[in-house]
């Protein structure tokens, strides 16, 4: 095993009351790709800050390899004091680092470098911060929610970039698919302690459930053992002149262990307040269009959304997802076309910017809108503390200012307020940001089972696949198309469409879907594929074929039912290789699709 570049042992930290970190450990060697997972408020970000050296623990050992470079991506990057993005990114380079790397990253993250900090959106600030920490290619890379505010194209690019790096990487993320494709080990921070699984995140949840089941069995056995010892204490010593003091001491120790055991964290109770059923037709849009500064954001889009539909909107940042969403629900007038809303609509909205938060409000004030200590949920009055418990907040947090909450706790608080409002149309703009896996699971179940209608903007591919009935995606020049199914279904339909158009073109036949030629060519007609893009298009099919062959060989090895028992090391190594090759294969397929679509657009 390679020597660690970073090692934390027995880390202790308490902010009053229950310890946040109680013996946590973390280590990383060159090439490690580690997912740091845990509940919101469990201390993941704090442990990462301790690794980065920005927070000091109260106790514990910290080792960082002398001379090793460390870069840390915080949840809220601070660009204050820098003239522009380029200055901010280049400030992260060391004396021996290649300045071209900064330019490469700025361009690939769709920035110019001339943007000033005060004009950046949340997504642009996140991309600038990513460029800064990736530019030096550090020995140790610590990433806290790197995919927040990123669009799907950038997330997929980041997956490939991180997979190629030789840096030791420790990352926190709520994006399941991102973690599955990037990581090869998982550290679970639970009740102040850490447990490590030397396999990627794809295997985490099954392992976690096994650990919790074993813990529950052990606690049950301990309770039974205490009962037996107490019986001996009461009746076994009546015929003896003196007690066995060793057994008395052991009983006291068992009682102490049983009393101080912190059970597994509970789960949030996400229930949406249901309003009166809406009409069958929720909304109808006819050839709606919207342009800004002469650039079409939406051009001639039409749709009919009926009660029970769950629609996902996807696309790059700036494509117009939020604009289209606002037009559909009547918050924004289209330049042309019309939107007709159905009857009996009760809309509950979760906005991307979390604009409803006043950080100086307490949790109680926010949930009740400052009106007393109770709120109405599903037609019943409920005390605010009782409602807070449903969302995993402690009673003493009722008077806590929102500014003291973690990012995940704030996201959970906003959900609590949105779901308390009676609604038959949920409008959710990036609802998964900052939520832990358990709360994401519950939100997924809520959305998938919601009896009303859902309009959802998200970059979380796994969440989309598990919840929506159709996807609306941009095709360029303001054109949007609706696809049946989830995100993977959309990709499959796009691939089939590209293949069909290629076949038609090869046969020399005009495509029935080709629009009438316009006097003005689209902007893409003047573009050309770069040398790198052409090379990728030529080589990707062969690389995918080789990867498929490698997957088949590894799956054949894993098919041996006795492999785990007779050669555990080989089982672990093969499983890790299989995870990596599958992740590489998925990345190559997505890259090929994107490049093929670009080529078709340019040549068409």
Q: What is the mean pLDDT of residues 507-515?
A: 48
C-alpha span between 433 and 458 (Å, rounded):
9
For 265-302, the pLDDT digits (tens) are 555 566 666 667 888 999 999 999 999 888 899 999 99
What is the percent of the chain where pLDDT is above 90? 32
Same domain, 397 and 479: yes
Q: How many CB atoms lie within 10 A of CB 513?
A: 9
The reported pLDDT for the residue numbered 312 is 94
Binding residue per annotation — 43?
yes
Same domain, 70 and 185: yes
The reported pLDDT for the residue numbered 519 is 37
The reported pLDDT for the residue numbered 142 is 97
Same domain, 418 and 473: yes
Closest CA to 136 of 85, 73, 91, 93: 93
C-alpha span between 2 and 111 (Å, rounded):
37
C-alpha span between 492 and 581 (Å, rounded):
20
Same domain, 536 and 479: no
Q: What is the CATH number of the domain that holds 19?
A: 3.40.50.300
Binding residue per annotation — 41?
yes
Binding residue per annotation — 67?
no
Binding residue per annotation — 236?
no
**At 26, phi and psi to the nearest 5?**
-160, 135
For 351-389, the pLDDT digits (tens) are 755 556 788 889 888 888 888 888 888 778 888 888 888
Question: 269 in a domain, yes or no?
Answer: no
For 119-176, the pLDDT digits (tens) are 887 778 889 999 999 999 999 999 999 988 888 888 888 999 998 899 999 999 988 8
Same domain, 181 and 244: no
Question: 512 in a domain, yes or no?
Answer: no
Q: What pairing do the DSSP bridges indicate for beta strands 59-64 and 33-37?
A: unpaired
Question: 61 in a domain, yes or no?
Answer: yes
Binding residue per annotation — 38?
yes
Average pLDDT, the chain: 82
Provide the 3-class DSSP secondary structure of residue 44: helix
The reported pLDDT for the residue numbered 91 is 92
Q: What is the mean pLDDT of residues 439-466?
A: 87
Secondary structure letter of residue 191 according to DSSP: T
Closest CA to 26 of 41, 48, 43: 48
In 14-58, DSSP assigns E strands to 21-29, 33-37
Q: What is the mean pLDDT of residues 4-24?
A: 88
Binding residue per annotation — 423?
no
C-alpha span between 131 and 105 (Å, rounded):
5
Q: What is the mean pLDDT of residues 475-497?
A: 86
Binding residue per annotation — 40?
yes
Same domain, 360 and 470: yes
Same domain, 350 and 391: yes
Q: With 50 as the cut, is the pLDDT of residue 521 above it?
A: no
Q: What is the mean pLDDT of residues 568-593?
A: 80
Q: With 80 as the cut, is the pLDDT of residue 460 above it?
A: yes
Binding residue per annotation — 321?
yes
The reported pLDDT for the residue numbered 214 is 83
In 412-530, DSSP assigns E strands to 425-429, 453-457, 470-476, 479-484
Binding residue per annotation — 16?
no
Instruction: Give 221 or 67, the one with higher predicted confidence.
Output: 67
Q: What is the mean pLDDT of residues 190-218?
A: 87
Question: 317 in a domain, yes or no?
Answer: yes
Same domain, 133 and 244: no
The reported pLDDT for the residue numbered 502 is 59
Cα dihedral sign, 124-125-126-127: positive
Q: What is the mean pLDDT of residues 496-500?
A: 68
Closest CA to 426 of 320, 288, 274, 315: 274
**69 CB burial (10 A radius; 0-12, 13-18, 19+):** middle
The reported pLDDT for the residue numbered 472 is 94
Confidence grade of residue 51 (pLDDT, cut at 50, 70, 90): very high
Contact yes or no for 86/113 (Cβ under 8 A): yes
Question: 357 in a domain, yes or no?
Answer: yes
Contact yes or no for 325/457 (Cβ under 8 A): yes
Question: 516 in a domain, yes or no?
Answer: no
Contact yes or no for 555/578 (Cβ under 8 A): yes
The reported pLDDT for the residue numbered 596 is 76
Task: Measure the N-to-C terminal CA separation of the chain; round to a whole number of Å.
Answer: 53
Q: With 80 as the cut, is the pLDDT of residue 512 above it?
A: no
Instruction: Give 235 or 221, the one with higher predicted confidence.
Output: 221
Total domains present in the chain: 4
Same domain, 176 and 96: yes
Least confident of 56-60, 105-109, 193-197, 527-531: 527-531
For 335-356, the pLDDT digits (tens) are 999 999 998 888 888 875 555 6
What is the percent of the chain where pLDDT is above 70? 83
Contact yes or no for 90/102 (Cβ under 8 A): yes
C-alpha span between 604 and 598 (Å, rounded):
10
Where does residue 21 fall: left (phi above 0), alpha (psi -120 to 50 degrees), or beta otherwise? Answer: beta
Question: 413 in a domain, yes or no?
Answer: yes
Same domain, 211 and 197: no
For 205-227, the pLDDT digits (tens) are 889 888 888 877 877 676 777 67
Domain containing 593 equals 522-603
Domain end position, chosen among 203, 226, 249 = 203
Question: 66 in a domain, yes or no?
Answer: yes
Q: How many CB atoms lie within 10 A of CB 470?
A: 17
Q: With 60 as the cut, is the pLDDT of residue 251 above it?
A: no
The reported pLDDT for the residue numbered 241 is 42
Q: With 90 as the cut, is the pLDDT of residue 585 above it?
A: no
Same domain, 326 and 222: no
**150 CB burial (10 A radius; 0-12, 13-18, 19+):** buried
Provide the 3-class DSSP secondary structure of residue 57: coil
Binding residue per annotation — 322?
yes
The reported pLDDT for the residue numbered 373 is 86
Q: What is the CATH number of the domain that holds 562?
A: 1.10.287.380
Binding residue per annotation — 517?
no
Binding residue per annotation — 319?
yes
Secondary structure letter of residue 464 according to DSSP: H
The reported pLDDT for the residue numbered 302 is 94
**At 420, phi and psi to the nearest 5?**
-75, -20
The reported pLDDT for the residue numbered 162 is 93
Model's pTM, two decimal places?
0.66
């Amino acid at each position: 095993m390679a020597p660690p570049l970073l090692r934390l042992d027995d880390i202790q930290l308490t902010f009053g009351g229950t310890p946040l970190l109680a013996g946590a450990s973390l280590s990383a060697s060159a090439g490690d790709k580690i997912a740091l997972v845990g509940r919101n408020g469990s201390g993941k970000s704090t442990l990462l800050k301790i690794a980065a050296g920005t927070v000091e623990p109260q106790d514990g050992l910290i080792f960082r390899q002398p001379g090793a470079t460390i870069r840390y991506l915080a949840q809220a990057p601070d660009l204050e004091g820098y003239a522009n993005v380029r200055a901010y990114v280049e400030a992260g380079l060391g004396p021996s680092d290649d300045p071209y790397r900064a330019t490469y990253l700025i361009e690939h993250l769709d920035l110019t470098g001339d943007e000033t900090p005060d004009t950046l959106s949340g997504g642009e600030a996140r991309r600038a911060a990513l460029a800064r920490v990736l530019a030096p290619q550090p020995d140790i890379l610590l990433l806290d929610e790197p995919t927040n505010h990123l669009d799907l194209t950038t997330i997929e690019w980041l997956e490939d970039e991180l997979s190629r790096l030789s840096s030791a990487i420790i990352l926190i993320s709520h994006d399941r698919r991102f973690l599955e494709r990037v990581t090869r080990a998982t550290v679970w921070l639970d009740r102040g302690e850490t447990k490590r699984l030397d396999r990627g995140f794809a295997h985490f949840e099954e392992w976690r459930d096994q650990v919790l089941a074993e813990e529950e069995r052990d606690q049950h056995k301990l309770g039974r053992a205490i009962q037996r010892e107490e019986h001996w204490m009461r009746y076994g010593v009546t015929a003896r002149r003196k007690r066995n003091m060793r057994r008395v001491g052991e009983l006291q120790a068992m009682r102490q262990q049983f009393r101080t055991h912190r059970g597994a964290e509970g789960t949030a109770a996400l229930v949406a307040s249901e309003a009166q059923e809406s009409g069958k037709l929720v909304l109808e849009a006819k050839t709606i269009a919207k342009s800004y500064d002469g650039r079409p954001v939406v051009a001639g889009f039409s749709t009919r959304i009926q009660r029970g539909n769950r629609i996902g909107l996807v696309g790059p940042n700036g494509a117009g997802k939020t604009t289209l969403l606002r037009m559909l629900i009547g918050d924004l007038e289209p330049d042309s076309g019309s939107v007709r809303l159905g009857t009996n609509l009760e809309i509950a909205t979760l906005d991307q910017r979390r604009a409803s938060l006043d950080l100086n409000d307490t949790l109680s004030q926010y949930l009740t809108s400052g009106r007393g200590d109770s709120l109405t949920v599903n037609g019943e009055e409920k005390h605010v503390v009782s409602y807070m418990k449903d969302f995993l907040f402690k009673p003493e947090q009722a008077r806590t200012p929102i500014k003291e909450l973690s990012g995940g706790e704030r996201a959970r608080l906003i959900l609590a307020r949105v779901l308390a409002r009676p609604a038959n149309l949920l409008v959710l703009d990036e609802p998964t940001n900052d939520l832990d896996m358990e709360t994401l699971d519950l939100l997924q179940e809520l959305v998938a089972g919601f009896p009303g209608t859902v309009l959802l903007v998200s970059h979380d591919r796994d969440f989309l696949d598990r919840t929506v009935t159709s996807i609306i995606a941009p095709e360029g020049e303001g054109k949007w198309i609706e696809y049946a199914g989830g995100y993977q279904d959309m990709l499959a339909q796009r691939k089939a469409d590209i293949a069909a158009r290629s076949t038609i073109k090869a046969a020399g036949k005009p495509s029935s879907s080709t629009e009438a030629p316009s006097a003005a060519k689209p902007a893409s007609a003047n573009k050309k594929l770069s040398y790198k893009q052409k090379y990728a298009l030529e080589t990707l099919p062969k690389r995918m074929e080789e990867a498929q062959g490698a997957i088949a060989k590894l799956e054949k090895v894993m098919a041996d039912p006795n492999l785990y028992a007779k050669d555990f090391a080989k089982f672990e190594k093969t499983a890790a290789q299989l995870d990596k090759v599958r992740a590489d294969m998925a990345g190559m397929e997505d890259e090929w699709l994107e490049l093929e679509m670009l080529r078709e657009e340019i040549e068409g």
